[in-house]
Copies of this chain bind each other. A is one copy, B any other.
């Protein structure tokens, strides 16, 4: 289990580095498939809101994401990927071959088994 997680993490880091992203930047970018508020991102990444501010600012400077005013609450902002961000994220996922290559070693049945077992592990976490 440790070896598996270690390999996964390492593959993720390498894919991020390949696109000049930090792990946290790649992670935020990956979560913007649907738009999100800053504090929502902070909670999902288990980090402080001020950290998200900086990450989003850098993504925005690279034109990968955009802040937009929330229609419901004028304090809050909705973050979404730009088309460039979508493109880079897609490239990142392609580079991040780990899951793909790993899955290719298992039959469809085995993949389903694995997903079911991992799902059970995560129950009520």
Residues of A within 8 A of B (CB): 1-5, 7-10, 13, 46, 99, 102-103, 105-106, 110, 113-115, 117-118, 120-123, 125
Contact = CB atoms under 8 A, between A and B. Distances in A.
B9 A9 contact: yes
B13 A9 contact: no
Given A46-B10, A113-B117, A3 B102 contact: no
A8 B5 contact: yes
Contacts of A99: 1-2
Contact of A117 (B5, B9, B114, B123): B114
29 contacts: A1-B8, A1-B99, A1-B115, A1-B118, A2-B99, A3-B118, A3-B122, A4-B118, A4-B121, A4-B122, A5-B5, A5-B8, A5-B9, A7-B122, A7-B125, A9-B9, A10-B46, A13-B46, A103-B121, A105-B120, A105-B121, A105-B123, A106-B117, A106-B121, A110-B117, A110-B120, A113-B113, A114-B118, A117-B117
